[in-house]
Amino acid sequence: MSTSSIAAGTGCAVPSIESIRRRFPSIGRGTVFLDNAGGSQLPLEVIESVQRYMTESYVQTGAEYPASVRATANVASARGVVRAFLNAQGRGEVILGSSTTSLLYCLADAYADARSTGAIDASRDEIVVCTAGHEANIGPWLRLARRGFTLREWQAERDGDGQVRPRMERLHELLSARTLLVVFPQVSNILGEIWDAASVCRAARSAGALSVIDGVAYAPHHAPDVAEIGCDWYVYSTYKVFGPHMGAMFGTTAAFAPLTGPNHVFIDRASTAHKWEIGGANHEGCAAINALPSYLRFLAGSPDAAVTHELFAAAFAAVAPGEAELEHRILGYLAGKRGVRIVGPGLGQARRVSTISFVKEGASSAGIARHLNAKGLGVKAGHFYSKRLCDSMGLGPEGVVRVSPVHYNNAEELDELFRVCDDML
């Protein structure tokens, strides 16, 4: 199916919020899920696919009997779904792992090994690390200082519009002929602002360096396009995109070429997925990933669409207006509360996702979250593993209160959030 026909289907049949919520069995069971940046709920198709796999094909891969053939195809197909999501077809490989953090530790370790063996240019010994993101894409790189690399920290700063962000002019100052990698988050999971990953990748390329993009906070809201971004590596968490508790990593063919995956020494390094997926990918998790396109076809109004990047893009586009409305309502509500500060862009200040953080003057962030939790509202307070950013902004040990709706949340849930918040804010 072509891009235009998928888009046409979306325009004709955007599902109602009621029909969307009916696809999620966890909704309406006592908790209002507003902590989706930490992990999304699962549609019925995904849940049922796990049960079906566990019933019909729960065996080891690689054999020739029918159940094993199905199990092998299940894992390979999941990589294909991720490849489509990221628009990575023909550009490189997709690796599945237990989490984004574990995948990035493996990647950082592989770069250290490659340098020690001469597989990469030894003169490229500097890594520029943006410290405004999640620790998953910071810590693995900073620890390479113990293995001969020089780390250049690219910190967020207050910009001309008053927002805190990593500034491009500072990146250009940090780049040199010695830069090997530039490591960067596409969206801050605290600030919610969408940063220009494509410009970062272009700047890295201009210095002869590669780019590692953390898309974890972006992927639940938009279909990432690694071709458009021009990155060498891209990672995200499938459990934040209506799927299983796993991580996924894309790398271009050229980026993988000098590196050796961490799996057993006798495994051929040319068998990229086998060499990088330590112990193999989670089989039932792969079954869950494979079921996600079924839900996306429902969102896009295209029941017969092939599993392509265009399907993912159309599904996200279909629900974007509803999600934007939720975002605008929360930002507007918080802006009207005395003593409340939105941590990140407010209404109309910058392009952002619906991950919204705030603090209340004279109040405990943990106490606010605790009160909301007691009323059945699933939110959370803290630094959300972006501790370096929170510390640099002086947010203190309790960090921020974070509210992060996605497309299956509705207006009534926000009404309840606001009613409870009125008691404290």
Task: Tell me whether residue 143 is in a domain.
Answer: yes
Residues 376 and 277 in one domain: no
350 with 405, same domain: the answer is: yes
Whether 378 is covered by a domain: the verdict is yes
169 part of a folded domain = yes
- Looking at the fold, whether 328 and 284 belong to one and the same domain comes out as no
Only one residue has tokens 């063996």, namely 117
19 neighbors 315 (Cβ within 8 angstroms):
no
What was the pLDDT predicted at 1?
Answer: 34
Q: Which of 271, 290, 309 is the last residue of a domain?
A: 290
**DSSP run (H or E) holding 154:** strand 150-154
Distance separating alpha carbons of residues 203 and 169, to the nearest angstrom: 10
Q: What DSSP character marks residue 241?
A: T
CB-count exposure of residue 174 (10 Å: 0-12, 13-18, 19+): middle
Same domain, 409 and 329: yes
Using DSSP's 3-state secondary structure scheme, residue 413 falls into helix
Q: For the chain, 425 residues long, give each residue's pLDDT as a single digit of tens.
A: 334 345 444 445 789 999 999 999 999 999 999 999 999 999 999 999 999 999 999 999 999 999 999 999 999 999 999 999 999 999 999 999 999 999 999 999 999 999 999 999 999 999 999 999 999 999 999 999 999 999 999 999 999 999 999 999 999 999 999 999 999 999 999 999 999 999 999 999 999 999 999 999 999 999 999 999 999 999 999 999 999 999 999 999 999 999 999 999 999 999 999 999 999 999 999 999 999 999 999 999 999 999 999 999 999 999 999 999 999 999 999 999 999 999 999 999 999 999 999 999 999 999 999 999 999 999 999 999 999 999 999 998 899 999 999 999 999 999 999 999 999 89
Q: Domain containing 416 — which CATH number?
A: 3.90.1150.10
| pLDDT tens digits, 156-187 | 999 999 999 999 999 999 999 999 999 999 99
Dihedral pair phi/psi, residue 288, rounded to 5°: -65, -45
In a domain, 17, yes or no: no
CB contact set of 321 (below 8 Å; sequence gap of 6+) = none
Query: What is the C-alpha to C-alpha distance for residues 24 and 325, in angstroms, rounded to an integer?
Result: 20
Answer whether 184's CB lies under 8 Å from 166's CB. yes
Q: Check the CA dihedral 311-312-313-317 and report its sign.
A: positive
Q: How far apart are CA 284 and CA 75, in angstroms?
A: 9
Together in a domain, 286 and 326: no
Q: How far is Cα 204 from Cα 201, in angstroms, rounded to an integer? A: 5
Which CATH number characterizes residue 187's domain?
A: 3.40.640.10
CA distance 40 to 238: 9
Element (H, E) at 249: strand 247-252
Q: How far apart are CA 70 and CA 279, in angstroms?
A: 18
Using the 8-state DSSP alphabet, how is residue 149 labeled? P
Residues 282 and 167 in one domain: yes
pLDDT of residue 12: 52
For 44, residues 6+ apart whose C-beta sits below 8 A from its C-beta are: 23, 24, 25
Amino acid at 28: G
- Residues paired with 154 in a beta bridge: 130
* Count helices and strands in the chain by DSSP H and E runs: 16, 15
206 and 112 in a common domain:
yes
Residue 302 lies in a domain: no
Whether residue 368 is found in the same domain as residue 410? yes
Domain limits for position 144: 66-290
Do 121 and 238 lie in a common domain?
yes
For residue 94, report the phi and psi dihedrals to the nearest 5 degrees.
-115, 130
Do residue 335 and residue 401 come from a single domain?
yes
In a domain, 11, yes or no: no
pTM > 0.85: yes
SS3 of 98-162: the string is CCHHHHHHHHHHHHHHHHHHCCCCCCCCEEEEECCCCHHHCHHHHHHHHHCCEEEEECEEECCCC
Q: How many domains is the chain built from?
A: 2
Residues 223 and 19: their CA atoms lie apart, in Å, by 22
| Kind plus residue range of the DSSP H or E element containing 333 | helix 309-335
Beta bridge partners of 212: 183, 233
The Cα 337–Cα 327 span in angstroms is: 16
For the segment 15-69, what is each residue's pLDDT rounded down to a tens digit?
999 999 999 999 999 999 999 999 999 999 999 999 999 999 999 999 999 999 9
User: Could you tell me if residue 31 is inside a domain?
Assistant: no
Q: What is the pLDDT of residue 11?
A: 47
* Dihedral pair phi/psi, residue 80, rounded to 5°: -65, -40
